[in-house]
Structure 1
Amino acid sequence: MIRNYGTVAWRNLIRNKLFSAINVLGLALGMTASLLIFLWIRDELSIGRQYAHSAQLYRIMEREYTDGKVVADDDTPGLLADELKKEFPEVVYAAGFSWEEGHVLTVGDKAIRQTGCFAGADWFNMYSIPLLAGTPAMALQSPNGVAISRKLAEIYFATPQNALGKSIRFDNGNDYQVTAVFENLPANDPEKYDFLLSWAAFLQREPWLTDWTNGGPKTRVLLRPDANVAQVDAKLKWFLKGRNTDFGPTFYINLFLQAETDAHLYSSFKDGFLDGGRIEYVQLLAVVAVFLLLIAGVNFMNLATARSVKRAREVGVRKVVGAARSALMGQFIGEALLLTLFAVLIALSLVKLFMPFFNQLTDKQLALPVDQPVFWAITLALWLGMGLLAGSYPALFLSSLHPVRVLKGTLRFGAGAQLFRRGLVVFQFTLSMLLIVGTVVIYQQLDYIQRKNLGYSRENLITIPLEGELARNYPVVRQELLRMAGIQSVTKTNGNPLRNGSTTESVTWPGKDPNAAISFHNSAVGYDFAKTMKLTFRQGRDFSPAFRTDSSNYLINEAAAKRIGYSNPVGQPLIFWGKPGKIIGLLRDFHFNSLHEPIRPLIIRLADNHYGNLLIRTQPGQTRPALASLEALCQKLNPKFPFTYSFVDAEYQRTYRSETVVGTLSTIFATLAIFIACLGLFGLAAFMAEQRTKEIGVRKVLGASVASVVALLSRDFLKLVVIAIVIASPVAWYVMRQWLQGFAYQVEISGWVFALAGFLSLLIAFLTVSFQSLKAALMNPVKSLRSE
């Protein structure tokens, strides 16, 4: 019997090639998109959970109350980790962790820039990163020791075993001895480093970190398995009170814990408290994946129903000869499972085919986990679930038909069945409308980010690490650069012009409330900083070598002037870090951080540092020859360091990489959802045309035009699409409004967005239905009425 059912199912699929192909294509596309999303979500959820003790790992966070505002981040004092181990019996291990830095590592004639950090001695005890050489206890104990990755060991020493005990020169200065070799970090590890230096070396290099009033590095702790996290959190809250001497009525810091397993997905804070993060993208794509599967399943139902008239007589004959309803249901569900099996096989092939493109788009290194039973269990569940979902309605419907009505030709579909099918169409196009509106709004916001006047020009702006002879002989280097063709201006800065996270409360002025702690961002720059960045002065001037007193003078932005209370700040006194000076320039506000954040008060001082970045503006159209000249000069003056540069506009693009990826995925999935929904609409149009074949024939005999017949068949479907537009519009507005709240500077959602999305939905629906309607309208009425 099963063999007979299989034969009948196969013959039916072959006989209806077009409908079978549409069914398989719709299911395959829905499954392909859902599998790709599943792999992406799986990777996102695994970040922070790859360590043996992930459940016990926590990040120490600060909630800083200052100037009537609350800000949360993970910048902590440099001495915090050691103190926590002493004061908290629940803490098994604790380690500080610095920001990522690029250093030139030299062994013999190999000098390559690598990325690394400083970490506390407990780091390898806390994070179960396999060591290929050395021990966790000794890896980060020595101030002159360095732990390197397998990749670096193979680059410099051929094997991890050969690396142990060997020396590496850092930035052509100090030599460090390899104390351990660790396995390369997984691609999805939240931290990116290829070497680690000891915390003792970090405190020696940055003595300001031994002051409890300063923060910057991160702190991680590993709690005992039986530790009460809530109690630890409560005790931790006021830990800095008494240690940080800046505490007062208007300034204080509360510490709190954040689980390592939550840090990646829940990283956005508003007014000091958790406000989402990447989890929102995970949830969004999970919903999209489910909807795509549902739309694909709905299409199967619609197409199967559309062909039910063709199968009705078959069902009637089978029932007359004694076929039970359960057997008929098994027959149709079996056909659905067979179709779904084809779709699953095609989907797996498409996932394999599109994986490189998807990885490039999402900056992932995903692969089909064919060696994991869980993956095959999910695939099996997907096959059975989609097969049963897609085949259930046709099976129940067709198996319930009365043979007498079917064989007499009086088969009609009731109001309930029609309402159900119309509801599915509304559901499909509601989702499509949501995706269209979302795609348009995301595109608008990304375009706004690209076109936003940042207060400076990021085009033709290049950064070069200030290191070695470039740092020691900066005045000479600057003069050499300014003499080169194609270079417009040169300056230096102690940080990144796109990301300024350095803040201080050590700013005073006449009339300031002595109890008020007000936070200011600050930056150290060279001469011509405003000129090179193309900043605009409201008042005053830039730093100039013609004024020797500029070493104690300051530039401020409008936000700082407003917070200080100076209406005409130029010439007014300002004391920064205890160093008195005057304000010589008032700059128009410019964005020195992400557009996710509002512009904060900023103080700029003249740099006396020998680190940071050279900032070079080239003449428009002269960037390539200017780079060649730059490289030649760097190789001449700084031969022991490889020439490295980056474009500020490229860095700016990378800042909004997550939003760009979401925008691209939204476009792809919106297009796919609309396409799959149109397959369902095509099926319903075919169903309606078959149901009304004789009616169309009669109308044509009575003189109806082709246009009137097309309008007749299209009108009902377009009404459903209009209903979907009405339902989707307020939902889309609310969802996208919530997404835009993550930006301090954002576009307004205009009414034309919904008008455009509605027009596109109606146009696509009309074109889809018109194809089938036109085909029915052009049919010879003699063929449809000859049985009469």
Structure 2
Amino acid sequence: MIRNYLKIAFRNLVRNKTFSAVNMLGLALGMACSLLIMLWVQDERSVDAFHANKNQLYRIYMREFFSGKLQGVIWTPGPLAEELKKSIPEIQYSTPYEWVSDQTFSVGTKINKQATNTVGPDFFKMFSFKLLQGTPEAALKDRNGLAISRSMAEVFFGSPEAAMGKPIRFDNRTDLRVTAVFENLPPNSTLKFDCLRNWDAYVADGNDWAKGWDSTDPLTFFMLRADADPAKVAAKIRHLLDKFNRDGNKPFHTELAMQPFHEYYLNSTFKNAEIDGGRIEYVRLFSFVAVFILLIACINFMNLATARSAKRAKEVGVRKVVGAMRSILIGQFVGEAMLLTAFSVVLAVLFVGLTLPVFNSLTDKQITLPFDSLSSWAILVGLTLVTGLIAGSYPAFFLSSLNPIRILKGTLKFDAKSTWLRQGLVVFQFSLSILLMVGMIIIYRQVEYVQTKNLGYDRENLIYFPLEGDLGKNFDILNRELLQIPSVKNVSHMTASPASNGAGTEGISWAGSDPNDKVRFTPVSVGYDFVKTMNIRLREGRDYSKEFGADSSGYLINEAALKVIGYKHPIGQTINWGGRKGTIIGVLNDFHFQSLHTTIRPLIAHLNTRQRSGNVIVRIEAGKTAEALAQIETVCKKLNPTFPFTYSFTDQEYARQYQSEQVVSKLSTYFAFLAIFISCLGLFGLATFTAEQRTKEIGVRKVLGASVANIVGLLSQDFLKLVAIAIVIASPVAWWAMSQWLQGFAYQITIEWWVFAVAGSLAVLIALLTVSFQSIKAALMNPVRSLRSE
């Protein structure tokens, strides 16, 4: 019997090739989108989940209370990691983690830049990065020790085995020794580095700020003992900083909080100084999108199946008359749905396989189809069964419920209940599609806004490169020779990069300031002509200049800092930074030195004419980038021959901060159009069904003189009403959802009415084009054929 059902199902699919192809295409596209999203979600959730001690690993963040405000920061004081182990017995290991960026290493004639970070000796005891050579205990125990990756070992020494114990020159000034070689980091690790250096060596290397409690920059990670209670540890560390000149009863105080390390990647944003959201919102968003698109595809199947019901009604009537039970008919129709779904799954997997390279390029992932995983096959089988049941259930129950007498007498009519259900499904489809379209437009506009917003400085034609090696001591010569290049307009330097600065200090005071009400400032050391090179507007005062000998004791502040300080006439007023008194020489208009996810923080800059690290910033003429870079490289190679020349474009580095938003924007665009396309397949099905039901009515109207335009309008208006209802339902939901998403940006667009008008108009236009095809076909039919007695 089952074999006969399969034969019948297969023959029906072959006999109705167009119907089957459209149905399979809709289901396959829906399932392919859902599979791609599921693979992406699975990859996102796998980040940092490979660490064996993941349930014991945590990171510290700080909750700062000052001036009636509350903010959360991830940067912590340098001594915190060691203090955690001393003060909290439940903490077994801890480490600071400092991003130092690319550093220059050399062995003989081999010179290369490697991503270098600084950590404590406990690092490899905490994290499950596989060591190929060395032990977790000894890897970073010595100050002159260096742990390197397999790829770095192969570059400099040929193999991990050959690298062990060998000397390697760091920054052309210090000899380090390879004390460990680790396997190349997996792509699902948030921590990225080519080599790791000892934290104490970093502090001793001129970074005295890391010894104090007022300055913050590194992250702090720790690992609990297996029997520790995280809640009790959280209570213990909360006021740990109070004893370091931070009284919790005074207006300013800082609390420590902890977050599981494996949640760090997906949950990284703050709300009321608590971790609340981040990439997890995108994971949830696209999980819903996957379900929505699959539902839209299933609804298509239902509408297309019921559109063909008149064709199969006689088959049902005859089979019922000869004794077929309803359960048998339901089984047959569900089986047909399962068969078509199985074909669609095969087609969907083929689509996924073909589009994965493009999808990986778009999302910057390395996702593969996990055919070797039993769970993946189970998911495919489950997807087939669930989709087949959802898509085939309504048509099966609908067709099996038809009255055989009415069918065979030719008086088959469909009641209002079934009509309302089909129309409701179309409204649901288009509501989801319009929701996706509105989201697509708003996400695109916000990404465009952050990409083009005036940051307060000109990021175009601004490059920077590391101030390293002999460039620091020869900066005056470097500056002079760079300015002799015709295409170079201005040169200066700064400690951070122009596009990102997360450092902080609380050691700022001024006349009338409350010593108990400290504020976190972002500090930066800069060179002469800093304001001119960055093209920042001055609210008042002036830039650093060699014409003023006293500038070494002068400070530049931004408007946010001026609001905190409160001077009405700031120029010439005194500020004390860590015991170093100076006067304000200029107030900068606020400019963004971090992403638009955060508000502009108070900034203070001082002149450092002996800067030995940081970045050289160069303003070049528009349209002369290639020749300028070639000449800059020549100058740098002459003054600093042992270091390779590397540079970054400020605008590109700024854009990288919004890589997640760019990916979401592109994905939402593609999925929105796919949802509309799949929805239109369902609308086409309903239009076909309606035309079949109203064949005789159309014939009568044509005989009585109705034109083709009248009939097309008659058939189309009902569907346009459904789309209009969908617009009304989707618009407030879309407004609420996108308002929540925009809360993640400190600077955001406003949601305007025309966004909903554009999305709605587009939906109406697409629906009208879809329906018109079937309506015109029905209107052109010969009325003699439609009125002919059966």
TM-score, normalized by the shorter chain, greater than 0.5: yes
Q: Check the 8 A contact 2:216/2:505 in 1, yes or no.
A: no
What residue in structure 2 maps to residue 746 of structure 1? 748
Q: Given residue 657 of structure 1, which amino acid in structure 2 is its aligned partner?
A: Q
1:328 is displaced (CA, Å) by 1.3
Q: Check the 8 A contact 2:474/2:639 in 1, yes or no.
A: no
- Mapped partners of 1:742, 1:420: distance in 2: 39
Find the partner of 2:632 among 627, 630, 633: 630
1:48 is displaced (CA, Å) by 2.2
Matched, 1:128 2:128: yes
- Mapped partners of 1:572, 1:200: distance in 2: 38
Q: Check the 8 A contact 1:69/1:271 in 2, yes or no.
A: no
Q: Given residue 182 of structure 1, which amino acid in structure 2 is its aligned partner?
A: F
1:202 is displaced (CA, Å) by 2.3
- Mapped partners of 1:160, 1:510: distance in 2: 58
Matched, 1:665 2:667: yes
State how many pairs are aligned. 788
Find the partner of 2:715 among 709, 713, 716: 713
- Mapped partners of 2:786, 2:445: distance in 1: 51
Q: Check the 8 A contact 1:48/1:189 in 2, yes or no.
A: yes
Q: Check the 8 A contact 1:685/1:772 in 2, yes or no.
A: yes
What residue in structure 2 maps to residue 150 of structure 1? 150
- Mapped partners of 1:506, 1:753: distance in 2: 47
What residue in structure 1 maps to residue 652 of structure 2? 650
What residue in structure 2 maps to residue 558 of structure 1? 559
- Distance 1:254-1:755 versus aligned 2 partners, 3 A rule: same
Cα deviation, 1:333-365, whole Å, max 9, x if unaligned, reads 111111111111111111111111111111111
Q: Given residue 190 of structure 2, which amino acid in structure 1 is its aligned partner?
A: P
Matched, 1:768 2:770: yes
Q: Check the 8 A contact 2:57/2:126 in 1, yes or no.
A: yes
Cα deviation, 1:282-304, whole Å, max 9, x if unaligned, reads 11000000000000000000000
Q: Check the 8 A contact 1:167/1:175 in 2, yes or no.
A: yes
What residue in structure 2 maps to residue 503 of structure 1? 504
What residue in structure 2 maps to residue 223 of structure 1? 224
1:246 is displaced (CA, Å) by 7.7
What residue in structure 1 maps to residue 493 of structure 2? 492
What residue in structure 1 maps to residue 314 of structure 2? 313
1:230 is displaced (CA, Å) by 0.7
- Distance 1:519-1:102 versus aligned 2 partners, 3 A rule: same
- Mapped partners of 2:274, 2:721: distance in 1: 46
- Mapped partners of 1:484, 1:720: distance in 2: 66
Extract unaligned runs of 5+ from structure 2.
none
- Mapped partners of 1:293, 1:286: distance in 2: 11
- Mapped partners of 1:518, 1:740: distance in 2: 27
- Mapped partners of 1:576, 1:204: distance in 2: 22
- Mapped partners of 1:733, 1:245: distance in 2: 43
What residue in structure 2 maps to residue 785 of structure 1? 787
What residue in structure 2 maps to residue 199 of structure 1? 199
Q: Given residue 645 of structure 2, which amino acid in structure 1 is its aligned partner?
A: F
- Distance 1:88-1:582 versus aligned 2 partners, 3 A rule: closer
Using structure 1 for the length normalisation, give the TM-score: 0.98
1:274 is displaced (CA, Å) by 2.3
- Distance 1:388-1:247 versus aligned 2 partners, 3 A rule: closer
- Mapped partners of 2:50, 2:73: distance in 1: 23
Q: Check the 8 A contact 2:239/2:248 in 1, yes or no.
A: no
What residue in structure 1 maps to residue 434 of structure 2? 433
What residue in structure 2 maps to residue 337 of structure 1? 338
Cα deviation, 1:695-739, whole Å, max 9, x if unaligned, reads 111111111000110011111111111111111111111111111
- Mapped partners of 2:378, 2:154: distance in 1: 39
Report the more deviating stretch, 436-445 or 88-97: 88-97
1:245 is displaced (CA, Å) by 5.6
- Mapped partners of 2:471, 2:783: distance in 1: 87
- Mapped partners of 2:599, 2:686: distance in 1: 51
Q: Check the 8 A contact 2:246/2:253 in 1, yes or no.
A: no
Matched, 1:445 2:453: no
What residue in structure 2 maps to residue 353 of structure 1? 354
Q: Given residue 680 of structure 2, which amino acid in structure 1 is its aligned partner?
A: C
What residue in structure 2 maps to residue 362 of structure 1? 363
- Mapped partners of 1:404, 1:158: distance in 2: 85
1:568 is displaced (CA, Å) by 2.3
1:526 is displaced (CA, Å) by 0.6
Report the more deviating stretch, 538-547 or 472-481: 538-547
- Mapped partners of 1:375, 1:514: distance in 2: 60
- Distance 1:658-1:126 versus aligned 2 partners, 3 A rule: same
Q: Check the 8 A contact 1:213/1:244 in 2, yes or no.
A: no
Cα deviation, 1:727-753, whole Å, max 9, x if unaligned, reads 111111111111111111111111111
- Distance 1:81-1:560 versus aligned 2 partners, 3 A rule: closer
Using structure 2 for the length normalisation, give the TM-score: 0.98
Secondary structure of the 1:455 match is coil
- Mapped partners of 2:222, 2:506: distance in 1: 28
Q: Check the 8 A contact 1:555/1:603 in 2, yes or no.
A: yes
1:403 is displaced (CA, Å) by 1.4
Cα deviation, 1:359-404, whole Å, max 9, x if unaligned, reads 1111111111111111111111001100111111111111122211
Q: Check the 8 A contact 2:440/2:668 in 1, yes or no.
A: yes
Q: Check the 8 A contact 1:74/1:218 in 2, yes or no.
A: yes
Secondary structure of the 1:12 match is helix
Q: Given residue 673 of structure 2, which amino acid in structure 1 is its aligned partner?
A: T
- Mapped partners of 1:491, 1:436: distance in 2: 46
Q: Given residue 375 of structure 1, which amino acid in structure 2 is its aligned partner?
A: S
1:567 is displaced (CA, Å) by 2.2
- What does residue range 254-269 of structure 1 map to in structure 2 within 5 Å? 254-269=255-270
What residue in structure 2 maps to residue 326 of structure 1? 327
Q: Given residue 706 of structure 2, which amino acid in structure 1 is its aligned partner?
A: A
Q: Given residue 145 of structure 2, which amino acid in structure 1 is its aligned partner?
A: G
Matched, 1:47 2:84: no
Q: Check the 8 A contact 1:77/1:215 in 2, yes or no.
A: yes
Q: Check the 8 A contact 2:688/2:774 in 1, yes or no.
A: yes
- Mapped partners of 2:76, 2:449: distance in 1: 34
Q: Check the 8 A contact 2:214/2:505 in 1, yes or no.
A: no
Q: Check the 8 A contact 1:572/1:583 in 2, yes or no.
A: yes
Q: Check the 8 A contact 2:216/2:504 in 1, yes or no.
A: no
Secondary structure of the 2:104 match is strand
- What does residue range 94-243 of structure 1 map to in structure 2 within 5 Å? 94-205=94-205, 206-243=207-244
Q: Check the 8 A contact 2:97/2:220 in 1, yes or no.
A: yes
Q: Given residue 22 of structure 1, which amino acid in structure 2 is its aligned partner?
A: V
- Mapped partners of 1:223, 1:507: distance in 2: 35
- Mapped partners of 1:292, 1:91: distance in 2: 46
Report the more deviating stretch, 758-767 or 446-455: 446-455
1:248 is displaced (CA, Å) by 6.8
1:94 is displaced (CA, Å) by 1.8
Percent of residue pairs identical: 57
Cα deviation, 1:651-693, whole Å, max 9, x if unaligned, reads 1111111111111111011001000000000000000011111
Q: Given residue 42 of structure 1, which amino acid in structure 2 is its aligned partner?
A: Q
1:85 is displaced (CA, Å) by 2.1
Q: Given residue 676 of structure 1, which amino acid in structure 2 is its aligned partner?
A: I
- Mapped partners of 1:755, 1:212: distance in 2: 54
Q: Given residue 392 of structure 1, which amino acid in structure 2 is its aligned partner?
A: S
- Mapped partners of 2:243, 2:693: distance in 1: 83
- Mapped partners of 1:75, 1:669: distance in 2: 37
Q: Check the 8 A contact 1:248/1:515 in 2, yes or no.
A: no
Q: Given residue 611 of structure 1, which amino acid in structure 2 is its aligned partner?
A: S
What residue in structure 1 maps to residue 700 of structure 2? 698
Q: Check the 8 A contact 2:267/2:280 in 1, yes or no.
A: yes
1:97 is displaced (CA, Å) by 1.6
Cα deviation, 1:466-497, whole Å, max 9, x if unaligned, reads 11121120010000000012111101011011
What residue in structure 1 maps to residue 418 of structure 2? 417
Q: Check the 8 A contact 1:552/1:582 in 2, yes or no.
A: yes
Report the more deviating stretch, 301-310 or 194-203: 194-203
- Mapped partners of 1:229, 1:451: distance in 2: 44
- Mapped partners of 1:584, 1:465: distance in 2: 27
Extract unaligned runs of 5+ from structure 1.
none
